[in-house]
Structure 1
Amino acid sequence: MSDDAAKTFVEVRGLAKTYGAIRALQGVDLTFRTGEVHGLVGANGAGKSTLVRLLAGLEQPDAGTIRISGAEAHIAGPAVAARLGLAFIHQELNLVETFTAAQNIMLGSHEGASLALRRVDGVHPRARQAARTVGIDFRLDRAVARLTVHQKWLVSIARALVHDCKLIAMDEPTASLDAQESARLLEVARDLAEQGVAVVFISHRLDEVLSLCDRVTAFRDGTVSAAVERPELTRDRLVGAIVGDQTSAPRSAGRIAGDDRPAVLQVRDLRRGRVLCGVTLDLREGELLGIAGLVGSGRTEFARAIFGADRIDSGSMLLSGRPYAPRSIADAIDHRIAFVSEERRAEALFLGLSVTSNLFVNTWRRHRLSFPPLISARRAERQATALAHDLGVVLRRGGVRQSVGGLSGGNQQKVIIGRWLQTEPVILLLDEPTRGVDIGARALIYQQIRDIARAGMSVLVISSEFEELLECDRVVVMNAGATVGELTGSSITVNDMLRLCYQ
């Protein structure tokens, strides 16, 4: 699309943002034009999300300027961004599940505050118009909880149109959609651009980026590594801009997994719906195995299947040579499988309970008195104090009696790992074990993980921080729900992981 046909709506110049020692953005220049689909690509942590957070007013830049329609803008918060015509639809769709589609579309608008619109059959004309624009073909009085992911995306886009947005940023909109739903959503994005909206399309799926976008900006290490116009768009050009040609940092010296060690877990062609499309791998005794992949690759879904949280459709697993098909989480725990979720505060911790209670929630029976059958609080606290010390948990006043919610993220993660170690698992699954953890705590957690593997436990680590996976004996790469490659020895580099992710 020519510059004459597309007018610059947002202009970013010299944008910079740091978090401690991490330079998330460094002097970024780019523009978003009306009537154009602009793709943003880059590996995890490349800077895309930071840019979006600055435009949405969720963070403030350290340097640089943002101009909207030619005037410099200070985006003090999300409400200011909305008034400026900027709309952002994140992967975690911000919808009220108990409201109808129509009520969600009007949510936040002046008309949406009307009591009449809270009736099930109350559908505002603007909601109907926005629904037609994005191609909604289901009843608007249906509760959002009953909609598919694709339908929820359409509701979110319609809501942005009701607010008269001039720019819509979509973050990984097709990650949870099948091929047909993805194609329909791409058509909606193109239609919006043709109606004069500036569409920002953030995705790891390069085929979609190549087919949809008029321009693409690639990020690497917080900088713009390439700005490519439609005539020059190729997969090789984008992959080169994302990965780069620089040599990756050398992996830490560690044990190389040998084929002579027996496989504790054997997975063959595991499939579940659209999220797992053929996962095959072995996890060996005493091995630290890394799983690399981008958003939507199926890494977490794979771990949940092993842990019995999700049932599989087909494929097979062998645990220590015997068929393994967990019927539930409790069944997986009985088979001595442990899982540390990436959502530790929502899914793993009892924030209002003490450190002691969180450490022993799975193993309280070990602290019972022989008679009467009660818990010995003194014995439990004594053992919890010793365990916290071994785990490197930094305790404040109150010791192990203090609420676990008062600990730092790194210390909370150590408590969760310590809890599972009390169950003496055969396999420990770790999903993003250092998310939200400071640099010092990360090093301590990985030292602990290495020690666990050296002691003979099999450990599977999922991480979006590919540098952390350099610590592993092997790395298996997943893409679109399937295993696509395996790296060992000196071939375990960040660049090789990225190339497999985008192949």
Structure 2
Amino acid sequence: MSGPMGTPAAPPFISAVAVTKSYGGAQALRGVSLSIAPGEVHGLVGANGAGKSTLIKILAGLTEPDSGEIFVDGQPTAIGSPHRANDLGMSFIHQELAFVPGMTVLENIMLGLPKKTRFGMVDWTAIAREVTPIAKRVGVTAPLHATAKGLSTAENWLINITRALVRKARLIVMDEPTASLSASECQKLFAIIRDLSASGVAVLYVSHRLDEILDLCNRVTVFRDGRSVAELAGSQLTRPSLVEAIVGGEVEHLAKSHGEVTKGEIVLSVRGLQRLPKVREASFDLHRGEILGIAGLVGAGRSELARLLYGADLLDAGTMALEGKPYAPRTPAAAVRAGLGLVPEERRTEGLLLAKSIAFNISLTNLNAILSNAILPFISSRKRAGMAEKIIRDLSIKAQSSDQPVGRLSGGNQQKVVIGRWLQSKPKVLILDEPTRGVDIGARGEIHRLIRDLAARGMAVLVISSEPDELPELCDRALVMAEGRIVRELAGKHVTRNAIIEASYAAAAERVPA
């Protein structure tokens, strides 16, 4: 990939100057400043809770700052509402994409936009004529009048970008755009971003993936603890400088020593697992105290394999044994009773009840431990709060109390809540699907330390990750999947980034028997 273009000399399209914001007495922003010029790809990075989301909400008109000023084209501007933000030329594409599967592609593109009418009816033919060239420019291949159900995350991103261009956006804010995209889909998105930049559209690119930030961005602003602590460009813009600014000092490197792998007894044995077309003849053993990685490209079948282990999907063929006994869960509840835990890929939709408290979420798999007594099925609020407070302390979860709704926590702290739930129930096998997706570098290190600690206590841990750098740091062994098959097993010093990437693109026929 080519590097970022030179820093633009144009005056800013939008600037935030000394912006502050408090929620319930806690300061989310402590005087941040940021400016974005037309045609610039500007990176915004920082730890979870650093204030990135709060500033984006202010720019989007979802909340108002307590103090400071916003300038648009050099003029002081009160945004005040999403409608006003749209009128000013700003469009926002969040991780949770604005998308309705039951509508057509064209209807999804036009969500929230004024529509041409004829004789009092929406003139979809005229709208399609206007949208078609924009959709082609972005790379939307699905027919505009076809239903959007079944489209991939990458295609949904293209629909959202098309919507922004139909709106004639001058600034597009992208929040973690590649979190669920494959390598080839990322390359396509990067090409679109460069095309937008060349045409004068500004992009605010928010991501924890520093390689993408370095590749795409002209300038990068770093937030820490509600403050803007650095603006880097040119020769200053390097990975070490970014990491140091994000964490506020030198980073502790926790690279794993890859000697000979010592294996404990087999806890989970899998033979010939199959659910077509996503999982084909998967076989492996997972040992007590081991951290086993599952690598591969998006769509390789990793999450589908986890669902089979956890009883969320049923097998077409194959057998499993847990501690030497036949294991065939037909539901997740059966898997939990047998001693398996799962931290799902989509923590917000599959792992948490966001409107409920931290205590409620932690207790979901530990109800027997918080009953008032062994006879009556009543929950003890005191026991539940005590359990949650212990997990909050043990995992250093940043929260006001165990009664705080989990939806108000940062991504890293939400992930700790999901992991903490299983710490209390002590499963024999813990499956973590993308455990550090969407979390900052500091939270990533904390989660890695926690995973190592669980393995050291004797828990068998299975980690699924799309990050080639994560598994070499963390795992004793790694299995690489492609086209639904396990195509390579790597162990000890052979668990490397290059080996994982090479094996991920290997032909499925190269499968190495477990």
Instruction: Note if 1:102 corresponds to 2:106.
Output: yes
Alpha-carbon shift at residue 284 of structure 1 (Å): 4.8
| Counterpart in the other structure of 1:205 | 209
Equivalent residues in 2 for 1:13-24 (5 A)?
Answer: 13-20=17-24, 22-24=26-28
Provide the aligned length of Structure 1 versus Structure 2. Answer: 419
RMSD of aligned alpha carbons = 5.5
How far the C-alpha of 1:15 sits from its partner, in A, is 1.7
Residues 320 and 24 of structure 1: CA distance in aligned 2, closer, same or farther (over 3 Å): farther
**Taking structure 1 as reference, are residues 331 and 390 closer, same or farther at Cα in structure 2, changes over 3 Å only?**
closer
Please tell me the residue identity of whatever aligns with 2:179: A
Q: In the alignment, what sits opposite 2:376?
A: 383
**1:15-164 aligned within 5 A:** 15-20=19-24, 22-111=26-115, 116-117=121-122, 123-164=127-168
1:435 aligns to 2:428 (yes or no): no
Contact in 2 for aligned 1:210/1:235 (Cα 8 Å): yes
Partner of 1:320: 323
The answer to whether the 8 A contact 2:17-2:70 is kept is yes
Q: Quote the Cα distance in structure 1 between the aligned partners of 2:228 and 2:132.
A: 40
Return closer, same or farther for 1:63/1:179 CA change in 2, 3 Å cut-off: same
* Shift in Å, 1:77: 2.1
Task: Please say if 1:307 is aligned against 2:293.
Answer: no
**Distance in 1 (alpha carbons) for counterparts of 2:355 and 2:35:** 44
Q: Output the TM-score relative to the length of structure 2.
A: 0.63
Superposed displacement of residue 176, structure 1: 1.5
Q: Tell me which residue corresponds to 1:374.
A: none
Among 453, 463, 486, which residue is 2:474 paired with?
486
Moved more, 14-23 or 461-470: 461-470
Contact conserved, 1:54 with 1:60, CA < 8 A, in 2? yes
Q: Does the aligned pair in 2 maintain the 1:36–1:198 contact within 8 Å?
A: yes
CA contact (8 A) 2:13 2:37 kept: yes
SS at match of 1:181: helix
C-alpha distance in structure 1 between counterparts of 2:203 and 2:319, whole Å: 42
**1:95 to partner: Cα distance:** 1.6
Identity of aligned residues (%): 38
- In structure 2, what is the Cα distance between the partners aligned to 1:62 and 1:267? 57
Q: 3-state SS of the aligned residue for 1:124?
A: helix
Q: Among 329, 338, 344, which residue is 2:332 paired with? A: 329
Pairwise CA distance, 1:67: 0.9
1:221 and 2:225 matched: yes
1:124 alignment partner AA: A
The 3-state SS of whatever aligns with 1:145 is coil
Query: What is the rounded CA distance, in whole Å, between the counterparts of 1:271 and 1:234 in structure 2?
Result: 44
CA-to-aligned-CA distance 1:274-320 (integer Å, 9 cap, x gap): 9xxx9x996858x9x9x9xxxx9x9988865642436899x998632
Question: Deviation at 1:32?
Answer: 0.6
Q: Is the 8 A contact 1:37 1:213 kept in 2?
A: yes
**1:98–1:145 Cα contact (<8 Å) kept:** yes
Deviation at 1:180, TM superposition (A): 1.6
Report the Cα distance in structure 1 between the residues aligned to 2:15 and 2:134, rounded to whole angstroms.
27
- 2:200 counterpart letter in structure 1: G
Range with greater deviation from structure 2 (218-227 or 336-345): 336-345
Q: Do 1:10 and 1:33's aligned partners in 2 also have CA atoms closer than 8 Å?
A: yes
Structure 1 residue matching 2:162: 3-state secondary structure: helix
1:414-440 deviation per Cα after TM superposition (whole angstroms, max 9, x unaligned):
9xxxxxxxxxxxxxxxx9896399xxx
Deviations 1:111-159 (CA, angstroms, capped at 9, x unpaired): 256675476x664332123213323333211222142222211111111
> 2:343, 2:351 within 8 Å by CA — same for their partners in 1?
no
Consecutive unaligned residues in structure 1, runs of 5 or more: 249-258, 365-378, 395-407, 415-430, 489-499
What is the rounded CA distance, in whole Å, between the counterparts of 1:38 and 1:271 in structure 2?
45
Q: Give the TM-score normalised by structure 1.
A: 0.64
Amino acid at match of 2:384: L
* Bigger Cα displacement from structure 2, 191-200 vs 95-104: 95-104
Could you tell me which residue of structure 2 aligns to residue 401 of structure 1? none
Distance 1:75 1:2 in 2: 30
For residue 83 of structure 1, what is the amino acid of its counterpart?
Answer: D
Q: Which residue identity does 1:44 align to in structure 2?
A: N
- 2:199 is aligned with 1:179: no
Q: The residue matched to 1:204 in structure 2 has which SS? A: coil
| Cα distance, 1:205 vs structure 2 | 2.4
User: Matched residues in 1 for 2:54 and 2:304: separation?
Assistant: 26
Moved more, 224-233 or 156-165: 224-233
Distance apart, 1:14 and its partner CA: 1.0
- Give the partner amino acid of 1:329: P
> Equivalent residue of 1:153, what SS?
helix
1:141/1:16 Cα in 2 relative to 1: closer, same or farther (>3 Å)? Answer: same
